[in-house]
Amino acid sequence: MTFFKKWKCLVNQNYMSNNTQPRISKLQGFRLTNRFFMVLGGVIVLFALGFAWSWVEYIATFSSIALGLAMLVEIMLLFISVKLLAVREGGKLLNLGDPNPIRLDLKNTGTVKVFAQLFDEIPYQMQQRDFRMNVSVTPGQTLHLRYELRPTSRGEYKFGFLNAIASSSIGLCARRFQLAEPMMIPVYPSVIQMKKYELLAFARISNFEGIKKVRRIGHSYEFEQIKLYTQGDDIRSINWKATGRRNSLMVNQYEDERSQQVYTIIDKSRNMHMPFNGLSLLDYSINTSLVISNIALRKHDKTGLITFSHRIGTTLPADRSQTQLKKILQSLYHEKPQPFEADYDLLYRAVKNVIKSRSLIFLYLNFESAYAMERALPVLKKINHIHLLVAMIFENTELMDYSRKQADYVSDIYAQTIAHKLIHEKKQIVGKLRKYGIQTILSKPEDLSINTVNKYLELKAKGLI
């Protein structure tokens, strides 16, 4: 089986029969190029000049015959000697909010050099209508092309055909080829970000930007090993018996307690619909939930998930089994925003029913007014009394940028004054939550994952969970 036959078998597995389009016929794929009309225009001008000078008419006649012969030769080349094969590869899934590489492999199996314009039928969710690649392929050559897509919503992304407008070096006419069978690729919460922050969180080098190393206060009670003393170790952990035997300072090393419960709770109400850099606050929260769930599982903790709006959505009890991360990924993939207000009383009942022991809870929500916070505050205080609650609130970065712009008109001054008032009110909300003992982080949407990982590592190091 040849290399390209294997390709075709692979593509057929992704072929979506209910979304396929009928292949174009050879006649439908034929078209004339701009070069043909330019040459034809020149021949017409020569015939027009032939009325004034008879000798020009001979040149015009010869040119028209040459044009017809060239057209005939190129048509024969396009429909007999030009053969193209292509395969599109995009992986098993696309990552939400990240640039995802799409690979196109184009091979010329014909006998003439081909000049082609490639138009890929990109999923409609991308709203990209100007995709074009200009390539030239010699006989037997395989081109490896690549472009990137950044999906901003979860769901099924359906690719159509790869259309190639091919012509020979003559360039008077072209033929359209439909290549690379239609395929569907789902867009899941970002696995790329999950792997990225996993590497940063578990790297022994502590000077990565955005990941802070927190000094441990005290230690847990799970003994790991005895090691040589190094500067910065807690002198209270010195093992004097081992020190006497080895004639050098030895300290007891403890590991973090395991099997602690970490829950992520996501508000899906209309306050989380606000878009920043193409992604909604809900999607930022979903990506971060996958990141922190993976790190918690790698730390041997149990992790769970709850989503809510006007009603409770997913309730996934905390577990640390090998399939838990896959369950969380699938649950996050199917979450949909809701156009309703969040019911925090309903959330409290769900927390009492699902979370049976003290846990660390990351609650992703968005308060745009002090009134909304006051309504939810009694419930948040109750949850924080039972569990360790961390409220992750989003900073309105577009409002911050607008407030810093130069005001050219009086109306701009009024608008910026309101913007400053809203920014100050958001800081007051954070301050009031902290006043009642609720750990609160005001985060930019793009920094949400970093801030969540830092807070988890900090609480873990301090033994507060």
Per-residue confidence in pLDDT tens, the chain, 465 aa: 443 344 444 444 443 333 434 455 556 678 889 999 999 999 999 889 888 888 888 898 999 999 999 999 999 999 899 999 999 998 899 999 999 999 999 999 999 999 999 999 999 988 888 889 999 999 999 999 999 999 999 999 999 999 999 999 999 999 999 998 899 999 999 999 999 888 877 764 344 445 554 444 444 445 567 788 887 677 777 888 888 888 888 887 765 556 789 999 999 999 999 999 889 999 999 999 999 999 999 988 999 999 999 999 999 999 998 899 999 999 999 999 999 999 999 999 999 999 999 999 999 999 988 999 999 999 999 999 999 999 999 999 988 888 888 888 888 888 889 999 999 999 999 999 999 999 999 999 999 999 999 999 888 877 777
d(CA 253, CA 94): 42
Beta strand pairing status for 84-89 and 100-108? Answer: antiparallel
Per DSSP, 273 falls in state: -
**pLDDT computed for residue 129 by the predictor:** 81
Per DSSP, 77 falls in state: I
Query: Can you name the CATH fold of 191-197+257-462?
Result: Rossmann fold (3.40.50)
Query: Can you name the CATH fold of 3-188?
Result: Immunoglobulin-like (2.60.40)
d(CA 194, CA 188): 12
At 290, list the tokens.
Answer: 């996958």
CA dihedral 287, 288, 294, 298 (to 10 degrees): 160
At 259, list the tokens.
Answer: 């099997």
Cα atoms in the Cβ-side hemisphere of radius 13 Å centred on 305: 29
Q: Tokens 């490896």 appear where?
A: 144
Q: Are 450 and 291 in contact (CB under 8 A)?
A: no
Q: Which residues contact 409 (CB under 8 A, 6 or more apart)?
A: none
Is residue 158 classed as helix, strand or coil in its secondary structure?
strand
**pLDDT computed for residue 402 by the predictor:** 86
Torsion over CA: 364, 367, 372, 374 (sign): positive
Q: Are 343 and 301 in contact (CB under 8 A)?
A: no
Q: Are 11 and 161 in contact (CB under 8 A)?
A: no
Per DSSP, 443 falls in state: E
At 132, list the tokens.
Answer: 């074009």
Per DSSP, 10 falls in state: H
Per DSSP, 238 falls in state: B
Domain edges within the chain: 3-188, 191-197+257-462, 221-255
Measured between its terminal Cα atoms, the distance across the chain in Å is 58
pTM score of the predicted model? 0.79
Q: Are 271 and 343 in contact (CB under 8 A)?
A: no
Exposed, middle or buried by CB within 10 Å (0-12, 13-18, 19+), for 54?
exposed
